Amino acid sequence: MSDVQPSGTVTLVFTDVEGSTKLLEELGTDAYRGALAEHRLVVREAFGAHRGYEVDYEGDAFFYAFASAQAAVSAVSEAMVGLAEGPIRIRVGIHTGEPALDPPKYIRHCASRPPRDPRCPCRHRRAEQIATPIDPGPVTTMTWVTGSL
């Protein structure tokens, strides 16, 4: 994992466990806890191997920043491969832009604005669709991917 917070043009990656409530019910608390711990280990190792900067994490979700889009996509691909043998699948949002730093986090990264919105202060560029999208709910500026890249 990178100890240096990326600045300038940054690729932000958001992950979430797909179907976590249903999976918890299917596996039971103890097995889900173990699967979640394995998920955290796999994601952190994959993202760290590509110099990802962990901005935040809560429950089953991660927020990482990468200095390049290529590193972000490579990290996501590696994480998905690492999780393939287990019960957990992740949804991933990828957003490239120029967010303002608020160490150790970011502000105004425009994840709630539509693509190419002129009001967006970070002049973000929406990633091209790289896999089957899923419904991201209220988030509209990210490409959501599941499965393999």
Q: What is the pLDDT of residues 99-132, one digit of tens each?
A: 889 999 888 655 545 545 555 544 444 333 333 3
Domain 10-145 is found in CATH 3.30.70.1230: yes
Residue 42, classified by CB atoms within 10 Å of its CB into exposed (0-12), middle (13-18) or buried (19+), is buried
What does the pLDDT read at residue 110? Answer: 54
What does the pLDDT read at residue 111? Answer: 52
Are the C-beta atoms of residues 63 and 94 closer than 8 Å to each other? no
Q: What is the pLDDT of residues 5-50, one digit of tens each?
A: 999 999 999 999 999 999 999 999 999 999 999 999 999 999 999 9
What does the pLDDT read at residue 95? Answer: 87
Are the C-beta atoms of residues 51 and 2 closer than 8 Å to each other? yes
Measured CA to CA, the distance from residue 13 to residue 72 in angstroms comes to: 7
What does the pLDDT read at residue 72? Answer: 96
